[in-house]
Amino acid sequence: MVLSQEEINENLEDSKGWEQEDQKIVKSYTLSSFPKALQFVQALGNVAEDRQHHPHMTIDHRKVTIKLTTNDEGGLTQKDFESADAYDKLVKKYE
């Protein structure tokens, strides 16, 4: 179920640096090296596949940017914020 703007705002208050961009939430992580960024993206891909919730990702040297939305729902859902939390926990292994 797509979240209301009020619910999105509440989730953003609890998030760690995620920001809303239209119907997506976005965050960039800067890793210590390009190989670390690639390792993080590979691990993130595995988590996304397990969750069956796939993000939009870009890699720019050490910087990995993640954008989340629930495409089949047409907006932001709780799945997006749960994935965001999982990625915040995962990145700690690669910092």
pTM of the full structure = 0.94
Full domain range(s) for residue 35: 5-91
DSSP string covering the chain: -PPPHHHHHHHHHHSSS-EEETTEEEEEEE-SSHHHHHHHHHHHHHHHHHHT-PPEEEEETTEEEEEE-BTTTTB--HHHHHHHHHHHHHHTTT-
CATH number assigned to the domain comprising residue 52: 3.30.1360.20
Q: Write out pLDDT tens, residues 59-94.
A: 999 999 999 999 999 999 999 999 999 999 999 999
Count of structural domains within the chain:
1
pLDDT score for 95: 86
Q: Mean pLDDT for the chain?
A: 97
